[in-house]
């Protein structure tokens, strides 16, 4: 294949298998290698449509516009053609069309499968697990020191290697030798982290073709900097291969053809890919590390004595995204991942119905509890005040719109952005309920476990991916990674991801907003791109409520929940600033009521709660976490204990048993009438203020007179 040597900057094609970390890989490559990356989905309609007849001409011509390819990660199985799409065609490239390729995760498995390996399930899946990868320092692992790599996979490559079949090798060097089953694949790295899994292949290279692959995710926030070095090494090896190939067997005399290299029908095809049309012209280009001066003054790469010049062009046009409808209204059958508790509240009673809980993981909880309520707390505003008192949270919200009441005490910021379009997300994963015996140290220990950190890490990497897709490769930072924050009823594991447009020093949260002079004057605001709102839209639904990979997770949830709607639980709630900012929370720790004209005798409140299910989850643990989250909100609907009443004989003992002046005061209050503790304390403070005033003024008077002055006659 004639390489794209006439571009101003090298181009890498990224084949995206609808993964939730793809943009992080693009960012990693663009930040560490001097290239532009063009992303195409594995089922790209243009290429897939042209190739429907089996003709690969269009696909091969597309590849000529790139210097290398990355076959990315994604959900699914390498043996399923639908899951790998165009990726499968890469490994079938013949000699004249070869191009350097790096496979990551699914791309790695697809590469190995194409050259004799098998794909099997891991006994112990790796979802957000960080482990040390063993390597020999060869090929793309050269000069790489200790590699701590993040893994997101439940399948593994089997080479029929002795270290996999017998869990042993005869001599150390055998670890790095190809097998009879896969003679063209040279092992480069292994993971021995899990005794259950044994040796898991982490890296390979093809011994004849320019194909490399890694199972782990070099782009993850928790993969150390050696992951960057691997990407740089791969690119160096790709360029070296291109230099060697470009000028092999070059004839001494062969004129350069300037005729059109393709039929005119392909012009529209190239325009769709963002390249200039193929046409007759001469081009001057700088000498690069993969160009060389020919003594003959002529150039004829490979068999064809022609070059196809492709200019810089632009990125691919936006293609219709593959969407999965994740409804956010109504309610339906609920599983452990989506629990909707019903609080049916007649005028003086509350009924907690748990019989609607359905779960394939834990036994169904069935039961009814009744609790009395006073009319003082029957209004939604009073309930909200009670909720914020029991469970104060930074993103509390009260909304009453006609017949809809929303009481929220959410601790999780979905996304905020200021008027400069700097954005911030605060994903939460990992929860410990406050209860007897659970100290801050205990909570920290629990939230430092592999399970809790894996859940949080997965959402952090997902959030980075979403923000990279809007703000670009150089403008997303993790300012807080998996720190424990304390709330009234819970401890939570919280991370903070910031996105800052070029030229802005740091993100600002709404708490730091200022009203700039240019906004007041109306100048400059038209030129501000609405990146924050774009990130808000493109990141829905919240990743902390879907998991990753998001597309596949939504498909599974949609199926498991029979397509029923969840209600606004797991959606977002917030506001748009007229000046261009916004702030939204994730709808958790929230109660919702919709008044019905057909039911004026009871109020029905819904509280959603759930837990993230990963390979390390247990049914009991997730159920307990779900109930802890539910109870933090449901406490507002529990009957409050009656105010403590104090009789005349016990007032002194409860308030201040050692102070005779207080005894005299309380004895005179309201002629011995019973008081609530709160009333007694209020009156006591009023009298105390009056006594202090008289003392400061040099006045004299009895406690009874002070009581009268305080308004308690």
Q: Give the active site residues.
A: 412, 429
Report the C-alpha gap between 338 and 566 in whole angstroms.
8
Report the C-alpha gap between 506 and 479 in whole angstroms.
10
Report the C-alpha gap between 313 and 279 in whole angstroms.
14
Classify residue 269 by its DSSP letter.
H
CA–chain centroid gap for 697, Å, is 64
In a 3-state reduction of DSSP, which class is residue 583? Answer: strand
Instruction: List helix spans (H) across 482-596.
Output: 517-521, 531-538, 543-546, 550-560
In a 3-state reduction of DSSP, which class is residue 530? Answer: coil
Contact call for residues 445 and 518 (beta carbons, < 8 A): no
Report the C-alpha gap between 34 and 12 in whole angstroms.
10
Residue 631's nearest CA partner among 607, 602, 605, 611 is: 607
Contact call for residues 684 and 707 (beta carbons, < 8 A): no
Report the C-alpha gap between 659 and 673 in whole angstroms.
20
Contact call for residues 551 and 41 (beta carbons, < 8 A): no
- Exposed e or buried b per residue across 186-224, where buried means at least 16 C-beta atoms within 10 angstroms of its C-beta: bbbbbbbbbeebbbbbbbbbbeebbbbbbbbbbbbbbbb
Residue 453's nearest CA partner among 429, 477, 473 is: 429
Beta bridge partners of 582: 417, 576
Distances (CA, A) of 498 to 255, 504, 554, 572, 623: 55, 12, 25, 19, 32
Contact call for residues 370 and 349 (beta carbons, < 8 A): yes
Report the C-alpha gap between 226 and 229 in whole angstroms.
5
Q: Are strands 572-576 and 582-586 parallel, antiparallel or unpaired?
A: antiparallel
Contact call for residues 501 and 442 (beta carbons, < 8 A): no
Report the C-alpha gap between 242 and 247 in whole angstroms.
9
Q: Is the peptide bond before 541 cis (omega within 30 degrees of 0)?
A: yes
CA–chain centroid gap for 499, Å, is 14
DSSP secondary structure of 659-674 = -HHHHHHHHHGGGG--
Report the C-alpha gap between 473 and 447 in whole angstroms.
30
Contact call for residues 686 and 653 (beta carbons, < 8 A): no
If phi > 0 it is left, if psi is from -120 to 50 it is alpha, else beta; for residue 650 that is alpha
Phi, psi of 26 (to 5 degrees): -55, -45
How long is the chain? 713
In a 3-state reduction of DSSP, which class is residue 596? Answer: coil
Radius of gyration of the chain measured on its C-alpha atoms: 33
CB count within 10 Å of CB 466 equals 25
């Amino acid at each position: 294949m004639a390489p794209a040597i006439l571009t101003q900057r090298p181009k890498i094609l990224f084949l995206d298998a609808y993964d939730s970390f793809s943009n992080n890989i693009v960012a990693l490559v663009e930040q560490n290698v001097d290239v532009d990356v063009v992303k195409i989905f594995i089922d790209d309609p243009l290429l897939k449509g042209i190739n429907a007849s089996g003709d690969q001409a269009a696909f091969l011509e597309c590849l000529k516009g790139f210097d290398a390819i990355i076959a990315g990660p994604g959900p699914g199985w390498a043996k399923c053609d639908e899951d790998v799409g165009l990726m499968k065609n890469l490994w079938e490239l013949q000699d004249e069309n070869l191009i350097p390729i790096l496979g990551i995760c699914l791309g790695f498995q697809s590469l190995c499968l194409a050259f004799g390996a098998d794909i099997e399930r891991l006994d112990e899946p790796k979802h957000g697990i960080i482990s040390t990868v063993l390597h020999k320092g060869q090929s793309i692992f050269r000069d790489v020191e200790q590699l701590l790599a993040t893994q997101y996979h439940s399948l593994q490559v089997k080479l029929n290697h002795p270290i996999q079949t017998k869990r042993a090798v005869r001599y150390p060097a055998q670890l790095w030798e190809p097998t009879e089953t896969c003679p063209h694949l040279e092992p480069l790295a292994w993971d021995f982290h899990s005794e259950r899994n044994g040796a898991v292949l982490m890296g390979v290279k093809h011994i004849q073709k320019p194909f490399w692959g890694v199972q782990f995710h070099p782009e993850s926030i928790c993969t150390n900097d050696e992951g960057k070095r691997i990407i740089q090494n791969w690119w160096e090896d790709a360029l070296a291969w291109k230099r060697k190939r470009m000028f092999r067997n070059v004839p001494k005399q062969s004129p350069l053809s300037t005729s059109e290299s393709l039929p005119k029908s392909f012009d529209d095809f190239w325009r769709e890919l963002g390249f200039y049309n193929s046409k007759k012209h001469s081009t001057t280009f700088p000498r690069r590390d993969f160009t060389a001066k020919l003594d003959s003054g002529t150039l004829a790469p490979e068999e064809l004595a022609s070059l196809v010049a492709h200019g810089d062009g632009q990125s691919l046009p936006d293609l219709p995204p593959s969407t999965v409808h994740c409804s956010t209204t109504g309610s339906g059958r609920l599983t452990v991942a989506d629990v909707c508790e019903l609080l049916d509240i007649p005028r003086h009673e509350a009924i907690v119905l748990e019989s609607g809980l359905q779960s394939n993981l834990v036994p169904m909880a069935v039961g009814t509890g009744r609790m009395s309520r006073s009319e003082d707390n029957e209004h939604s505003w009073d309930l909200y005040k009670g909720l914020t008192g029991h469970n104060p949270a930074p993103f509390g919200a009260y909304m009453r719109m006609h017949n809809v009441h929303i009481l929220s005490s959410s601790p999780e910021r979905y996304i905020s952005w200021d008027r400069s379009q700097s954005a911030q997300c605060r994903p939460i994963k990992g929860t410990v309920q406050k209860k007897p015996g659970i100290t801050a140290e205990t909570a920290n220990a629990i939230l430092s476990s592999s399970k809790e950190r894996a859940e949080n890490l997965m959402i952090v990497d997902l959030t980075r991916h979403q923000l990279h897709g809007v703000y670009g490769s150089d403008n997303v930072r993790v300012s807080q990674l998996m720190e424990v924050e304390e709330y009234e009823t819970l401890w939570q594991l919280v991370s903070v991801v910031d996105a800052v447009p070029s030229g802005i020093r740091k993100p600002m949260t709404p708490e730091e907003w200022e009203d700039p002079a240019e906004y007041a004057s109306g100048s400059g605001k038209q030129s501000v791109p609405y990146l924050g709102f774009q990130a808000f839209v493109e990141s829905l639904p919240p990743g902390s409520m879907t998991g990753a990979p998001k597309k596949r997770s939504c498909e599974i949830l949609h199926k498991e929940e029979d397509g029923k709607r969840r209600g606004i639980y797991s959606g977002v709630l917030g506001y748009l600033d007229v000046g261009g900012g916004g702030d939204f929370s994730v709808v958790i720790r929230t109660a919702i009521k919709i008044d019905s004209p057909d039911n004026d005798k009871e109020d029905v409140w819904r509280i959603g709660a759930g837990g993230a299910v990963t390979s390390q989850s247990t049914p009991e643990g997730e159920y307990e976490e779900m109930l802890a989250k539910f109870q933090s909100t449901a406490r507002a609907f529990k009957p409050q204990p009656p105010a403590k009443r104090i009789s005349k004989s016990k007032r002194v003992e409860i308030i201040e048993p050692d102070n005779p002046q207080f005894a005299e005061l309380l004895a005179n209050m309201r002629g011995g009438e019973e008081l609530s503790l709160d009333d007694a304390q209020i009156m006591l403070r009023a009298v105390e203020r009056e006594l202090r005033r008289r003392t400061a003024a040099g006045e004299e008077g009895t406690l009874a007179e002070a009581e009268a002055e305080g308004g308690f006659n």
